[in-house]
Amino acid sequence: MFAKMGARVNLQQSIAPAVHYLKKPIDLFRTYDRANLRPDLLAGLTVAVILLPQSIAFTLIAELPPEMGLYAAIVGAIAGALWGSSDQMHTGPANAISLLIASSLSAVIIPGTSQYAIAAGLMAVMVGVFQLGMGLVRLGMLVNFVSHSVIVGFASGAGVLIAIKQLHPLVGLPAAGSGTIGTVTNVVTEIAKTHSPTAVIGLGTMLFIIVIRRINARLPLPLLAMVLASLVVFLFDLDEQNVAVIGQLPATLPPLADLPLFNLELISRLSAGALAVGAIGLVNAAAIARTVAAQTGQRLDSNQEFVGQGMSNILMGLFSGYAGAGSISRTAVNYKAGARTPMASIFSGLFMLIAMFILAPLAAYLPISALSGVLIMTAYDMIDRAEIRRIWRSHPGDAAIMVLTLVGTMFLELEFAVLLGILFSLGLFIWRTSTPRIQAVLPDETFSHFTYRPDKEPCPQMAIIEVYGDLYFGAVNYVEEFITNHADAHPDQRYLLLRLDHVNTCDFSGIHMLESLVRSYRERGGDVFMVGTNYRVQQMMFSSAFDRFLGPDHILDEDEAIGKMFYQQLDPAVCIYECPTRAFRECQNLPKRIALANIPQVDELDTSHILQIEPKKLWSWLHPLPGSNGSSPMPYVIDVREPREFNQGHIVEAQLVPLPQILSSEVKLPADRQIVLVCRSGRRSRRAAAALQHVGCMNVQVLQGGMLAWSAAGLLEAMEF
């Protein structure tokens, strides 16, 4: 019974988001503020003025009957507004999507046939189902993995292709040649066969748009150009002089199409194209919505936007239209015209429906060459030259993706070019996340921030390395290799402070990598400490028991990390006698023993012949068992550290004689007793012993491992504090 209840709860939880997304129209009408009615009506009317010529022109790109564009414009505008997320985005026929549809369909069915139009409707439904499914299962975040460079490259390449494809109808040449190069070659070789009236109308339309745009760019130039061209055809009877026209358009409501929804063979042939159209449509819609939201401050729901695009494409296909997407030009006009809610797009669709009934008869005189001129001007605007320059100057990876998509769009099958661009975009994302920025850092001049300073010598004992990226399975090898190479290049840096402020997540591969680093540093006699771990990274460390392996005291507070490392881990002798760097704030007040400047460093001395005594053996020597007769006198233990270190803990029998003092002629050492030199780790002791032997004092040996080894041997109770 409890299992059934649990299954019922899980089912309800999975259904709830879908219901929330699908009931968006109810929420829209229930919460609509009537104060927005007037601005939404005006914006809808303004968009409808450009929607009419665009829908016909873009249908020409898709090589479909003009009425399919009109139906798609009406249904897409209304459905996209009802189920979408953005208040201003306008959905319907789009130029680049139309070109992609033509490329995909013409590879399967001959354009101009009834089967071609039916396949276009079926593809729209397929695209819509794909997009709707992506939204209902909440995969809207996937759109973030497609680079903006893909959209810029595809739009620019599509603009070039659209312009080239319109050259034949622009000047009245019969369509011939295949591909970009073949089409251009055919136009050049057949230019003498240009139909003069057709060319005059087409080129005149372009000239009209260019001139009037300079006078007043806010006018509905495509509509004005098409109306003027229709009047010219009507007045001079050019349709009787072989000037191709659109022909009579049906003045009816969008009819329900009879689509082969269960023709699996046709569906499989259209699937690659539908996937490309759906993917580009989603990325394009998300980019448009984000662009407008950046100006309005609206919070978007990418999953809801996916649902809106999916519902609009399904309904466009079912009601005799073809697939569409968000339109950047109409969205911009909608926003600038004062649209406040999605009702503005709904009104544009309704105005479009009214206009279709009124203006449908006039399409009988609308010349195709005028539409070609409008499309060429639109194609020119699709090439965002400023954005291309910005991407080209920014990152080589983004520039490569843009160029690859642009070239692929012009010379390859469009759906393949789109998917290739998306794959390279994902590849660039994987490459960037798997090779995160990682660098050794040091405090700045004010000791307030850590920064990359390759011109400054690092601390000789501790490396501070900052990771900018997640520690996941794809990146851990790169991070580990960098840190290992850095450790090999700086063998004296036995301690590592990892700054993880910019690490958002860490998976189990990241934990394994960190464990490997800790083992490596501890085998070298050092250790690893961390700072800046966020809640999620800490939870992963706790759940995997890494915190116990590392040690809870090894995860430090940001403000106290350097101080604790300096006073508790670093060897002060190196800081005082050997380090000229003074990398940290804590180093600034250390005394500098200039008197030792001429004494060789440990690394420069041959210390292989210096005797060493183990901590437990020294303990036994200093504390003989009762009744035993020692065969040798008690050793003379000298602690060569600084007074601060000595006061923190020392061997009871030791005498404090700092290294500079023991090397001076004023210190008298007993010649009849064995001298044992003690320091923190053995480094200063070996240096002192080598220097003493150099002047003839041979009865010296050092405590192996220094006070660190003494403590590790469990002899802490023998220390004074």
Within its chain, how far is the Cα of 168 from the centroid?
42
From the list 634, 638, 667, the residue with the least C-alpha distance to 651 is 638
Helices (H), 368-413: 368-382, 385-393, 396-411
Helices (H), 544-672: 546-550, 561-568, 572-573, 615-622, 643-648, 659-662
How many Å apart are CA 61 and CA 619, to the nearest integer?
93
How many Å apart are CA 245 and CA 363, to the nearest integer?
8
Residues that are catalytic: 679
How many Å apart are CA 715 and CA 343, to the nearest integer?
81
How many Å apart are CA 439 and CA 450, to the nearest integer?
11
Q: Which residues have CB under 8 Å from 256's CB, separation 6+?
A: 318, 319, 320
Give the C-alpha distances (Å, rounded to integers) separating 409 from 156, 184, 279, 282: 9, 16, 15, 18
What's the burial of 397, exposed, middle or buried (CB within 10 Å: 0-12/13-18/19+)?
A: middle
Identify the H or E element spanning 46: helix 37-61
- β-strand 675-678 against 450-451: which pairing, if any? unpaired
What's the burial of 419, exposed, middle or buried (CB within 10 Å: 0-12/13-18/19+)?
A: middle
Helix (H/G/I), strand (E/B), else coil: 690 = helix
Cβ(695)–Cβ(670) under 8 Å?
no
Q: What is the DSSP string of 80-117?
A: HHHH-S-SS--EE--HHHHHHHHHHHHTTS-TTSHHHH
- β-strand 91-92 against 325-326: which pairing, if any? antiparallel
Structure tokens at 361: 């008869």
According to the 3-state scheme, what is the secondary structure of 338-377? CCCCCHHHHHHHHHHHHHHHHHHHHHHHCEHHHHHHHHHH
How many Å apart are CA 170 and CA 193, to the nearest integer?
13
Give the C-alpha distances (Å, rounded to integers) separating 493 from 303, 483, 659, 705: 50, 12, 22, 17
How many Å apart are CA 329 and CA 374, to the nearest integer?
14
Burial letters for 137-149: b for 16+ Cβ neighbours within 10 Å, e otherwise? Answer: ebebebbeebbbb
How many Å apart are CA 183 and CA 163, to the nearest integer?
11
How many Å apart are CA 95 and CA 376, to the nearest integer?
11
- β-strand 675-678 against 700-703: which pairing, if any? parallel
Cα atoms in the Cβ-side hemisphere of radius 13 Å centred on 89: 39
Structure tokens at 280: 């580009």
From the list 472, 445, 478, 129, the residue with the least C-alpha distance to 318 is 129
